[in-house]
């Protein structure tokens, strides 16, 4: 079970006491059972009931890009958080909308997007699949590509940013570049450049909180609309920060098959680009 199905020791402890949790050829067995060639071994890796007081299901329409029995890939809109913010109760969260859609009392997000970030994000339907996804997240088997509009034009035009990230003291939200923080790597490449704005392809090599926003701000080119690490004033009428998760490519944690999902830019992002190009 651990070698072929990649069950964690914690999940295995749960499964072996579950009624019908492990069967061989349709008959319940214990973990000491010996299997032979041709036997059919099954294991119930569904989530056990768990009351989460911080998860509030809400009937909110989801834009689903891709789905199978293990995973749900969403196009997250701007303006909503994945979880309830610290010390506040959000009327709508991604977790709450997913819990309502799946009729579940648990939420297993794989890649998390900020309130103002849009685009493709992966949700696992069980803790088992979530654990296997997280093992892929910071490897070459899980590729994420973003689009961002930044202030100014980076020099060099294409390159990498390697700056460690840590928490900002006395803040629940902000992060900062910190020599004692966690290593963080971002690749960037311009797709369009105006006199004082640029559309970038952003590829994170790590998944630190606020990584792309903080890295671009640290080199002097914050994302437009980023009121935490950039300028407070919205530009040309945009309604959110200009950061969009454009594409995901990963190896399916159960089947081993490649999965590629692309997500179009939101309307406000496209409209801003048109205005910038027209004024270039």
User: Counting Cβ atoms within 10 Å, is residue 40 exposed (0-12), middle (13-18) or buried (19+)?
Assistant: exposed
Distance of CA 265 to the CA centre of its chain: 17
Spatial contact of 165 and 186, defined as CB atoms under 8 Å apart:
no
Question: Which of 87-95's residues contact partners 24+ apart within 8 Å by CB, and which partners?
Answer: 89/56, 91/58, 92/58, 92/60, 93/56, 93/58, 94/121, 94/123, 95/55
d(CA 51, CA 104): 10
- Are 188 and 178 in contact, with CB atoms under 8 Å apart? no
Measured distance CA(211)–CA(117) in Å, rounded = 12
Q: Where are the alpha helices (DSSP H) in the chain?
A: 9-16, 94-102, 127-137, 211-218, 267-279
End-to-end CA distance of the chain: 60
In this structure, what token pair is assigned to residue 98? 């997913």
State the catalytic residues: 114
Residue 107: φ, ψ to 5°: -135, 130
Task: Identify the CA nearest to 58 among candidates 16, 106, 99.
Answer: 99
Q: Is 6 helix (H, G, I), strand (E, B) or coil?
A: coil
């Amino acid at each position: 079970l651990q070698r072929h199905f990649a069950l964690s020791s914690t999940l295995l402890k749960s499964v072996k006491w579950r009624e019908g949790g492990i069967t061989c050829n349709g008959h319940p067995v214990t973990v000491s059972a010996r299997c032979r060639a041709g036997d059919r071994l099954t294991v119930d890796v569904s989530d056990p009931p768990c009351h989460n007081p911080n998860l509030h299901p809400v009937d909110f329409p989801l834009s689903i890009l891709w789905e199978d029995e293990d995973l749900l890939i969403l196009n997250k809109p701007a303006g909503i958080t994945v979880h309830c913010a610290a010390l506040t109760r959000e009327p709508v969260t991604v977790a709450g909308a997913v819990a309502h859609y799946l009729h579940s009392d648990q939420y297993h997000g794989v890649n998390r997007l900020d309130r103002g970030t849009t685009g493709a994000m992966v949700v696992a339907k069980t803790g088992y699949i979530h654990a296997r996804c997280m093992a892929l997240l910071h490897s070459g088997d899980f590729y994420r590509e973003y689009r961002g509009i930044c202030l100014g034009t980076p020099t060099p035009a294409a390159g990498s940013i390697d700056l460690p990230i840590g928490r900002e003291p006395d803040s629940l939200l902000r992060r900062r570049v910190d020599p004692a923080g966690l290593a963080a790597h971002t690749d960037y490449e311009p797709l369009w450049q105006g006199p004082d704005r640029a559309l970038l392809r952003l590829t994170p090599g790590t998944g630190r909180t606020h990584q792309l926003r903080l890295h671009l701000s640290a080199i002097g080119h914050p994302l437009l609309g980023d009121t935490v690490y950039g300028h407070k004033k919205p530009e040309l009428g945009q309604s959110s920060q200009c950061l969009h998760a454009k594409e995901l490519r990963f190896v399916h944690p159960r089947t081993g098959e490649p999965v590629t999902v692309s997500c179009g830019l939101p309307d406000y992002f496209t409209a801003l680009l048109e205005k910038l190009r027209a004024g270039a």
